[in-house]
Amino acid sequence: MYGGNWDCGHYRSVGSAPHLRFHLWNAHKQCVKCNRYLSGNIADYRVLLVWKIGQPRVDALESMQDGSRITAEYAQRIKAIFRRKKRIKERIRKKRE
């Protein structure tokens, strides 16, 4: 790991599937080394993704070919989800201190 830094890694790359850029099944925390220097380390990424979200969801993600645009409503919903996750992580960190 490079200095403990993290990226948002995508199972299906933004270049090949831009419609999945903000999809919650497609975007996950990934170390900088794997994301930037190992082209996403997709083989290991897939194994862990199946463990994390399950084989049916990975299969669905791999078959999503819809090039639909992201609506403002969807973007706001994603933003709210990540804000909640951030608040939960902050509360957990404070309890540990």
pLDDT digits (tens, 9 = 90+) for 5-17: 888 999 999 888 8
* In a shared domain, residues 93 and 80: yes
Average pLDDT over residues 45-57: 95
> What domain count does the chain have?
2
The winner for highest mean pLDDT among 31-35, 50-54, 86-90 is 50-54
* In a shared domain, residues 46 and 74: no
**pLDDT given at position 3:** 59
* In a shared domain, residues 8 and 26: yes
**pLDDT given at position 1:** 46
* In a shared domain, residues 36 and 55: yes
* In a shared domain, residues 49 and 73: no
Average pLDDT over residues 38-66: 92
Q: What is the DSSP letter of 17?
A: -
Average pLDDT over residues 39-53: 93
Average pLDDT over residues 55-65: 93
Give the domain range for residue 81: 68-97
